[in-house]
Amino acid sequence: MTVPTPIRIVLADDHAIVLHGLKRLFESEHDFEVVDTCRNGHEALAAARRGCDVLVLDFRLPDISGLDVLRMLAADGPATRVVLLTAAISEDDVMKAMQLGVNGVVLKESSPEQLLECVRRVHQGEQWIDRDMLARALHRVTRRESAAREASRTLTPRELEIVRMIAQGLRNKAIAERLSISEGTVKIHLHNVYEKLDIDGRLELMLYAQEKELV
């Protein structure tokens, strides 16, 4: 009887206790082989490039983020499947990870059985992302695109650019320097923005931009 080839995995997490627990979890299953454990993004990237079936990657690492590792692996080609393991992740980061080709996203609050099932399915070519997490991410992107379209119909591209910089906390002088225009021109643009949006001042404009997710 032929023994199935185990799923070769690399584990990456900067917390030693978590990493040890993950290693013990996967080694307790007959269909996995832990080929390497890593404490930072650079180690994870190097280990994945040496060869594995699935990289189980902590989203937040001390040197480069899980998204950065994903981005670099995506540039190499689709050889390594990646599961992001995270305590928390924003809807924006879920969408970024999907755009970079992530195969699975698992919250650390999930059960060990869910993580194991995720890695098995990812190895088979499936994608595993929590439905509620995915729905929230898609809703946020749709809402942001709708708000951007609404603003673009009201504001000129330059006015919209300035609104985004205001929302980031930039002062008029910094905006002028970044756009290579005078502070006086920035003030004129802001005056027009206030008139078009019926907004009384800078704080209200910042709140508007955050509410419409224009940042």
Give me the CATH number covering residue 65. Answer: 3.40.50.2300
Identify the band that residue 142 occupies on the pLDDT scale cut at 50, 70 and 90: low
Q: Judging by DSSP bridges, how do beta strands 104-107 and 81-86 pair with one another?
A: parallel
Query: What pTM was computed for the model?
Result: 0.61
Q: Is the pLDDT of residue 2 over 80?
A: no
For residue 171, the one-letter residue type is: R
- Mean pLDDT within 102-125: 87
Report angle CA 155, 158, 163 to the nearest 5 degrees: 70
Provide the number of structural domains found in the chain: 2
Identify the band that residue 33 occupies on the pLDDT scale cut at 50, 70 and 90: very high
Q: What is the pLDDT of residue 123?
A: 92
Range of the domain at 82: 7-135
> Do 151 and 214 form a contact (C-beta atoms < 8 A)?
yes
Instruction: State which H helix or E strand residue 115 sits in.
Output: helix 112-123
Identify the band that residue 86 occupies on the pLDDT scale cut at 50, 70 and 90: confident
- Mean pLDDT within 45-55: 92
User: Where residue 203 sits, what CATH number does that domain have?
Assistant: 1.10.10.10
The CA dihedral of 129, 131, 137, 139, to the nearest 10 degrees, is 160
- What does the chain come to in residues? 215
Residues 100 and 172 in one domain: no
Residues 125 and 33 in one domain: yes
Query: Would 105 be classed as within a structural domain?
Result: yes
> Do 14 and 61 form a contact (C-beta atoms < 8 A)?
yes
For residue 201, the one-letter residue type is: G
